[in-house]
Structure 1
């Protein structure tokens, strides 16, 4: 028996579906908790162990602090011992803010800003020359050397290339006693009331003194005082003007361009931040992109006339001023408003879109005046802009979005920073260029940068570079070498964002901490899995306990301890099927029961290896030992003979690839992380099809052409986004079965007698719902700066409906009782109602029998949401010409769940449809009819199509990493099952 402080013990856990279970976890170990989707893994790891750890942490605060924070509810568990401080690393994407990037999340970009502020060399954005910086003594010395014996003006620059009349500035200088100024290269005497043209850019310098420079050996006291005064007036910058040649030269105590006199303020880290006004590009405010009006969306069909509605935002001709103006412009070019746009001269269309330089004459008959009417015309584009800017309502913005396109900022070229920040360089790279490199390329730059620094730079940069290298190395360790620091956090997958936080935790070097991770292997190719497992073991080896909720076979076998929760999902789960080492699970260990960690109150059948010999089919042990397999099909589908071709795809890292998608097949797109799979499918193929079928506004990544669209009639993207944004959304409402259930209740005799309509049984409209909670079933208590607290409604007690509605019952059940049923219960309950049964049976078929009909969609995982969407599509009648797109559908799925899911997907393909899946899981890849393998590496090293064909054909390829793993999978599994 191990000492108590060597393990974490959980007694009597009953959170959600956990059935009063006892679990032990060795400390300083890598423990994997596995089991079917919905079996209770997350309930044990996050809702019990993590929740209790967090509660105890808050209890260490003073009573005063807890008064502000509020107490956390204790999870439903008898006792937990041996608990360390807990850190949870979940799948939630780090930040949806477009200003959040990989660099800011990992703090690498913060160190880069410091590096450039302290060791960067400034160059002029006007001439490219290196900026210079002089002391006042050095300025005096240079003036004496360069202008000895010559007459000069000493001036202080006040205004540089800015508009304005500057009357107050001239008056201020006059009152200070200065007599002359130089305005736009011309020296003038300052007169009372003097001003400049307010609409032009001006350069203004005040003349401090005019003198003849004495040789070095003479007393230059006057020159010293004049230079000091000029430096003060010019904010550290002075100009010397040669009286004879009229040539100007600049000197500055700050960084200055020796040719143009442009000066920079002393650099600080904020000057290199796109989230700070000091560093952000003023045009795009640091976002790197702007919204522009897209002319192709404004005039989609040039064959139409403006009268017929060619300019979509204006619509068809109406008797309004803007149409009169357009007609007047067209008449100047011998056209009219009924001329097709393609026949209108380009100059005329330019005037119509961007405005006329001359006032437009409107016919007096149109405006009903005694004479013709002249009016300025600003153009359709400005008219649109004015509408958008003057009305920020959601309706107008949605209307305007259809004419907008996101494009790269023309001023900073997408680099987010202002031109001063981009002018600082280290080894010929500015900070934006480094942030655009992938992590592997950045590490290579960091390896050699010291060789290109001078001794002073090297001394300043040494510690900063060390910090950057350390953090970059941690990202490399968790397999994120293909990301760049500029990559937006919102575009990261759940697995990627989780691994970024994992890298940060490895870097923190904390010890005696309990880390709980939720499927960190998501999105990882088998090649990268080893690096992730090594990182987790590194966390363990420095003195931490690591608990991973995971389904990955490699992770399970590499763990020190394994806990299998099951045996099924939902009400039939929540039990400990096995706990022990992977070797014991596989039956490879002959050690006695007492030699392994065991909880005294744990029933022996839960932990004894012999129990696995009689365990149910579909359990973790059955799949790991090979007793259960996802069988390889006896033959591959041949498809319908037609194909969809994308040619010249070049978005992100795609290298102008031509890709064939044979229709009527199960197609799997695979490859290492960052190889270009999502760019090809989610960013190119899917937007092309959505634009074609649904006029979607999402713009596809660059490509040359697409062929074969006539062979499909719709595209369905089954992603992992939530079913809805509020708890009012649930599987019943999403699938549409709730409408059928309400119709059933409306037709009951009791409902007819009372005159109830379908709205009576909706919790979203007044009538039948509980008005105290508005049909929510709970009330939200605002906690000011704390998260809101939700408590059950004191009137309906969470049932959502009022008493009269709940009195109508079908087979003894009210509408609230039906919503509280699991899918499995509902299938039995509605077995004689075909319309309802068909829709809910498909949810059961995708392995979601354990979720409730009325379960808020906000409580469903990404994988569960994806399968509800898939079930919804399955319940619809299809034409057999639909193309389905799924992105990593195995997320959160156990081996048995994957088997059920792939059977369902197989049925879709058997009906003639095409399914395209992005996936790394070999159990899915081996079932494909056609594989597209991308690579060979991630990031700039990827973007190529390495091999295509059946799994057997791809397994024989010598390109990339997938064939090696796939070949081993085909040889080791399912070969005997193919007959």
Structure 2
């Protein structure tokens, strides 16, 4: 079959669409955020293919409703989407995922030599490769369990004097009233006494807890409180920090493994180098002719793998870089490498924004890699807003015209040249739209700056910069050049520490007297669980539940606010509030179908009988932001956050939409709206990490409107960004480079967008 043929598909917001998609092509599915692109590519094509495949091999599974009349022409389908491939295990690293560490373990087992303190080389005899693996009990450093890190409690910062009581210790670290009551009952004799007066065994129990022999859980203690707050990304750095393991110096592996070396380096040292440096190391070592025939062949195999990873712009990573710390684009490129190596044909590959997080100069190699997958005889479907990807497509499918209920239709299908002339598409309209024309810069002139000097973390080379205050400032540069290290890992922590302690004496940072507050908006998801949604995150859910609890029917039935939560008393008993029945077939492969008891509403029948303005609690969760504003306007609930979301083009998002389905850019805009919805202050510094992620040019125009409004209101905004439309609208750009990893970490250009475009050294300027 030469086409994927879909008839009357109506999943999510798709409006009974029928479409014929050519196979063995490089196809881009585009459209503004929320238009239905992912519904077509992932929820329909990928999910239905998985189901049909399992049914074809004899698995008699009931997957529930088919959201289409007919689908034909599907082939085995591979999906590479951030929330499908995202992993949370910190023990999974670039080296373990790509197989590099396994090959290096084999190389060291065969070619390494032991060296004692006098550097006398000892031949290795039948060494087990496992001793070089931090994942193996034979090879891991036991003090850090192979993580290379240990958590440290800074009790000296928690207990400022000998009079601080046990109660004050737990108040200081953020314990809730409920847990304080629990501690008071358990430690009645010590609770109001100075912590330092407690017996040493009680102090240890309060700090580190006691492990229950039956459950294996640790009792409530200082470490448990701080670790839970750390996992929630709360600011506990002053009391609790992750530090390099003293036993292995962060190298993860045991003493024996660190004693064996190749060219005076042990595996931990090599695994901590950038992939580019590792490749140079192997090239040089092969030239030295000290390897056996087996070692030479294995080294060349490693170089082939390294070259492939460097080609898809991952050369700045190390083998020990943890998979959960990768950006969405980096993660997808790791999986792209896997499929480039497989050389399978007749498959359908579905990618989600594969150029995310890449500088404009780095995209061509990714496009070529994707095209090579097509050249092997596969169909490549790419959900993307990237202009370069769209231009490279053999075939374009534009979904829209707008978002949410106003989207879900096929606006255009065909070639790029004809797409540019399509007047019905918001996507094509904004492909060549000059954002700077509608981006007003009516800001007060100020010469104040925020400066940082001698920044040397990671690959930063003692750089000093001045960031204009009350401006929109872009931080640009190729992947791995040091942008996030400079801003998120150096500038922000230093600024927060100064604000917290009201201490502006640090000579390495100046200008903080002009900043009252810092708000950092990262790409981290606002919740990965199915029960996490926008209305909960922005803090309106409790108010809405209280509103329903006041209705006559609720009062009559004795229902409280907790009865209007699908996580509590209001949950459907059959699905426990999930709204679905899960079907697991092993190997972490799971499907869901609508719960027949509650029909996917998650609530029990008694809860659903309570109405407010003829709508039940589930109806409210199904409302878009725009619908909710109209529905709740006569209530006493503060709707300022919803109004901000509407203003920035997110009126299509449903209140109960799982946050795991939001793109990185959508999640950031919700975070931003939540912060702005609080008491408005001048002199706030907003820091955003690639806010363009997952956004179309139309959506970026809405984002720029908000950023401009923040600056004109007397605030400062720093964006770490690759998107050219955002950078063109910046008042000032600081570019790092010129390369990544060891070849980055320096300021190569700074100035206005026009300054950079005229600067021959600037890589970004060539595209501006």
Does residue 480 of structure 2 align to residue 674 of structure 1? Answer: yes
Going from structure 1 to structure 2, the CA distance change for 1:584 and 1:801 (only over 3 Å counts) comes to: closer
Aligned equivalent of 1:812: 614
Going from structure 1 to structure 2, the CA distance change for 1:810 and 1:643 (only over 3 Å counts) comes to: same
Does residue 607 of structure 2 align to residue 615 of structure 1? Answer: no
Q: SS of the residue aligned with 1:932?
A: strand
Equivalents in 2 of 1:784, 1:543: separation in Å?
29
Aligned equivalent of 2:151: 291
Q: Contact between 2:626 and 2:652, CA under 8 Å: does it hold in 1?
A: yes
Deviation at 1:930, TM superposition (A): 2.2
Q: Contact between 1:729 and 1:856, CA under 8 Å: does it hold in 2?
A: yes
Equivalent position to 1:100, from 92, 98, 111: 92
Deviation at 1:530, TM superposition (A): 1.1
Equivalent position to 1:556, from 370, 382, 390: 390
Q: Contact between 1:726 and 1:858, CA under 8 Å: does it hold in 2?
A: yes
Does residue 472 of structure 2 align to residue 655 of structure 1? Answer: no
Going from structure 1 to structure 2, the CA distance change for 1:124 and 1:855 (only over 3 Å counts) comes to: same
Equivalent position to 1:440, from 268, 276, 289: 276
Aligned equivalent of 1:736: 539
5+ unaligned residues in a row in structure 1: which ranges?
A: 133-254, 256-264, 328-351, 353-376, 588-611, 696-702, 967-979
Q: Contact between 1:33 and 1:41, CA under 8 Å: does it hold in 2?
A: yes
Equivalents in 2 of 1:627, 1:784: separation in Å?
48
Equivalents in 2 of 1:935, 1:281: separation in Å?
35
Going from structure 1 to structure 2, the CA distance change for 1:389 and 1:647 (only over 3 Å counts) comes to: farther
Q: CA offsets per residue over residues 832-869 of structure 1, 9 Å max, x none?
A: 55754433222222222222222233333333222222
Deviation at 1:881, TM superposition (A): 2.2
Deviation at 1:874, TM superposition (A): 2.7
Aligned equivalent of 1:510: 344
Aligned equivalent of 2:181: none
Aligned equivalent of 1:718: 521
Equivalents in 1 of 2:155, 2:607: separation in Å?
54
Equivalents in 1 of 2:194, 2:430: separation in Å?
75
Counterparts in 2 of 1:778-817, with a 5 A limit?
Answer: 778=579, 785=586, 796-801=598-603, 805-817=607-619
Aligned equivalent of 1:534: 368
Q: CA offsets per residue over residues 473-498 of structure 1, 9 Å max, x none?
A: 11112111211112111211111010
Aligned equivalent of 1:471: 305
Q: Contact between 1:427 and 1:453, CA under 8 Å: does it hold in 2?
A: no
Q: SS of the residue aligned with 1:615?
A: coil
Aligned equivalent of 1:59: 55
Does residue 107 of structure 2 align to residue 306 of structure 1? Answer: no
Aligned equivalent of 2:693: 891
The alignment's TM-score, normalised by the length of structure 2, stands at 0.86
Q: Contact between 1:493 and 1:523, CA under 8 Å: does it hold in 2?
A: yes
Deviation at 1:429, TM superposition (A): 2.9
Equivalents in 1 of 2:76, 2:117: separation in Å?
55
Aligned equivalent of 2:766: 964
Aligned equivalent of 2:219: 393
Equivalents in 1 of 2:539, 2:288: separation in Å?
65
Going from structure 1 to structure 2, the CA distance change for 1:74 and 1:431 (only over 3 Å counts) comes to: farther
Going from structure 1 to structure 2, the CA distance change for 1:789 and 1:566 (only over 3 Å counts) comes to: closer
Does residue 108 of structure 2 align to residue 116 of structure 1? Answer: yes
Equivalent position to 2:512, from 697, 709, 714: 709
Structure 1 residues 427-436 or 892-901, which shifts more? 427-436
Aligned equivalent of 1:631: 437
Deviation at 1:651, TM superposition (A): 1.4
Deviation at 1:527, TM superposition (A): 0.6
Aligned equivalent of 1:276: 136
Q: Contact between 2:273 and 2:318, CA under 8 Å: does it hold in 1?
A: yes
Structure 1 residues 883-892 or 22-31, which shifts more? 22-31
Equivalent position to 2:707, from 890, 894, 905: 905
Structure of higher CA gyration radius: 1
Equivalent position to 2:683, from 881, 897, 902: 881
Q: More relative contact order in 1 or in 2 (CA 8 Å, sep 6+)?
A: 2
Q: SS of the residue aligned with 1:412?
A: coil
The alignment's TM-score, normalised by the length of structure 1, stands at 0.69
Does residue 78 of structure 2 align to residue 87 of structure 1? Answer: yes
Aligned equivalent of 2:450: 644
Equivalents in 1 of 2:171, 2:533: separation in Å?
39
Going from structure 1 to structure 2, the CA distance change for 1:286 and 1:483 (only over 3 Å counts) comes to: same
Equivalents in 2 of 1:704, 1:634: separation in Å?
36
Aligned equivalent of 2:327: 493
Structure 1 residues 516-525 or 578-587, which shifts more? 578-587
Structure 1 residues 274-283 or 922-931, which shifts more? 274-283
Deviation at 1:829, TM superposition (A): 2.9
- How many corresponding residue pairs? 734
Equivalents in 1 of 2:190, 2:384: separation in Å?
65
Going from structure 1 to structure 2, the CA distance change for 1:400 and 1:615 (only over 3 Å counts) comes to: closer
Equivalent position to 2:3, from 4, 7, 14: 7
Q: Contact between 1:14 and 1:76, CA under 8 Å: does it hold in 2?
A: yes
Going from structure 1 to structure 2, the CA distance change for 1:324 and 1:632 (only over 3 Å counts) comes to: closer
Going from structure 1 to structure 2, the CA distance change for 1:505 and 1:825 (only over 3 Å counts) comes to: same
Q: SS of the residue aligned with 1:669?
A: strand
Deviation at 1:706, TM superposition (A): 2.5
Q: CA offsets per residue over residues 774-816 of structure 1, 9 Å max, x none?
A: 9726365685956676565555544455555545544332333
Equivalents in 2 of 1:74, 1:458: separation in Å?
60
Aligned equivalent of 2:729: 927
Q: SS of the residue aligned with 1:631?
A: helix
Q: CA offsets per residue over residues 104-162 of structure 1, 9 Å max, x none?
A: 11111111111111222x12334320114xxxxxxxxxxxxxxxxxxxxxxxxxxxxxx
Going from structure 1 to structure 2, the CA distance change for 1:746 and 1:622 (only over 3 Å counts) comes to: same
Equivalents in 2 of 1:312, 1:925: separation in Å?
48
Going from structure 1 to structure 2, the CA distance change for 1:835 and 1:642 (only over 3 Å counts) comes to: farther
